Structure 1
Amino acid sequence: MGTAAMLRAAGVGFGDEVVVPSFGDVRVAEAVAQVGAIPVFADIDPGSYCLDAASVEAASTSRTAAVVAVHRFGRPADMAGLGLMGRRRGLLVLETGEPDEPPYEETARRRERAAYLDGRLRGVRIPEQGEGHTYQQYVVRVPGNGRPDRDAFARALRGRGVECWVPVKTPVHRMPGFRSCVSLPVTERAADETLALPVDASLTKRDLQRVVSACNALGGLLVGSTRSLGV
């Protein structure tokens, strides 16, 4: 069932507010608008990139009817924390996964490749491990001065033959049609620093070695001269 259908089935409609993440694609916010409700953006946890329960609670008002949590990059959202907050505030908490979730065998191979990178990458912040992580994307943080250094790092990796991509180019609260003055510092920092590296089940050990070699050569130039990656 799609997000709009879930909201309609729950009785969410015109004039209601629905808290959603800004870090990700625009489809969840569009689904909220489709049923006549108003998307309200909350910040994310810096490790999981999913909605932060405290930020959701802070963004909630008397008009808030529901929360839609999105599992991001294969990392599950904190449904226990969001559910507890929802019960306390009387809010409906819905969840949605990312499309095209890989089958079990592919997930197992992705986890093997992610573990290989986890143990060898230097100079970038590796993904936070968590129960149930399927590594649909292997998302690191690049140290430095935000977006300029991240983008330069990405170009340098591609120049060394390593595929990489920016997972979220523009947070939804900065997009036309959903532009908002809300302060989401963790979301904006994540959008400026994150970079996805290949972790496909088809990657060979040689491919992974190339990723590690290229990242470590570049990352080592940044670590000693830049601010901490901590949020």
Structure 2
Amino acid sequence: MLRAAGVGAGDEVVVPAFGNVEIAEAVASAGASPVFADIDPVTYCLDGSSVEAALGARTAAVVVVHRFGRPADMPRLHELGRRHGLLVLERAEIEDAHDERAQRRQRAAYLDAKLRGVRTPDGGDGHTYQQYVVRVPGNGRPDRDAFARAIRGRGVECRVPVKTPVHRLPGFRRCVSLPETERAADETLALPVDASLTKREMQRIVAACNTLGGLLEPALG
């Protein structure tokens, strides 16, 4: 898509650092240079103000990645593109069946109502919960990792969605301040929310998390 739009050598493309390295690699493969912008802490997608701050004379495009089933603020980002004459590309997540989305939303609502001690995701703007991502409050990565080990020990599968932001990886290392990206990488944990989960399995998730949640700061909101 970048090559087809004429983006190449000498150009810069604004991309998120919170996520997979493939986006930055695609920019580099087109001959352009990736420039990293910070995320919105609610959606985990590119933040419009940070994108605008990252623009320069060589910026040709912005690549927006929707995260975890929560869409980015596309009206704001398209407005930025129009104002600055930039190409705005979207990396959409895989579409899935309506019934599956409905069941995930049902399970997410159950977790929203029952979980204590973790910060549950914001469910606004058509969230499809391709991943149910919570934040583990406390001392960042050490507490998040200890929490993950503990609930795995209680039979709950979970995963760290972004272990290392792209701007910290070899080959793309940048001296750039992305505080929300780094905070999210240190605090986030994806809990199971698959449509196939039974009520008993959902109860096990809640029991495992809440047993530990009392040792952490209270959930916000």
How far is the alpha carbon of 1:91 from its aligned partner?
A: 1.2
Equivalent-residue separation in structure 2 for 1:146 and 1:16 (angstroms): 36
Match of 1:211 in 2: 205
**TM-score normalised by the chain length of structure 2:** 0.97
In structure 1, which of residues 101, 104, 107 is the aligned counterpart of residue 101 of structure 2? Answer: 107
Q: Which runs of 4+ in 1 moved over 3 A?
A: none
In structure 1, which of residues 65, 74, 80 is the aligned counterpart of residue 75 of structure 2? Answer: 80
How far is the alpha carbon of 1:229 from its aligned partner?
A: 6.8
In structure 1, which of residues 31, 39, 42 is the aligned counterpart of residue 37 of structure 2? Answer: 42
Equivalent-residue separation in structure 1 for 2:220 and 2:33 (angstroms): 33
Q: Deviations over 1:139-186 (max 9, x none)?
A: 000011000000000000001111111000000000011000111000
SS at match of 1:196: strand
Match of 1:167 in 2: 161
SS at match of 2:214: helix
Equivalent-residue separation in structure 2 for 1:47 and 1:154 (angstroms): 21
Q: Is the 8 A contact 1:101 1:136 kept in 2?
A: no
Matches within 5 A, 1:182-193: 182-193=176-187
Equivalent-residue separation in structure 2 for 1:71 and 1:104 (angstroms): 18
Find out whether 1:118 has 2:134 as its counterpart. no
Match of 1:92 in 2: 87
SS at match of 1:7: coil
Identity over aligned pairs, percent: 77
Match of 1:3 in 2: none
Equivalent-residue separation in structure 2 for 1:194 and 1:124 (angstroms): 10
Match of 2:50 in 1: 55
Equivalent-residue separation in structure 2 for 1:90 and 1:37 (angstroms): 17
Equivalent-residue separation in structure 1 for 2:138 and 2:170 (angstroms): 28
Match of 1:198 in 2: 192
Equivalent-residue separation in structure 2 for 1:9 and 1:145 (angstroms): 45
Give the AA of the match of 1:45: D
Find out whether 1:16 has 2:17 as its counterpart. no
Give the AA of the match of 2:141: R
SS at match of 1:9: coil
Find out whether 1:69 has 2:64 as its counterpart. yes
Q: Is the 8 A contact 1:143 1:229 kept in 2?
A: no
Equivalent-residue separation in structure 2 for 1:174 and 1:156 (angstroms): 27
Count of residues paired in the alignment: 221
How far is the alpha carbon of 1:9 from its aligned partner?
A: 1.5
Q: Show structure 2 runs of 5+ residues with no match.
A: none
RMSD: 1.3
Q: Is the 8 A contact 1:111 1:134 kept in 2?
A: yes
Q: Is the 8 A contact 1:44 1:55 kept in 2?
A: yes
Q: Is the 8 A contact 1:70 1:77 kept in 2?
A: yes
Q: Which range is displaced more, 154-163 or 129-138?
A: 129-138
Equivalent-residue separation in structure 2 for 1:111 and 1:139 (angstroms): 13
Q: Deviations over 1:37-85 (max 9, x none)?
A: 0000000000000000000000000100000000001111110110111
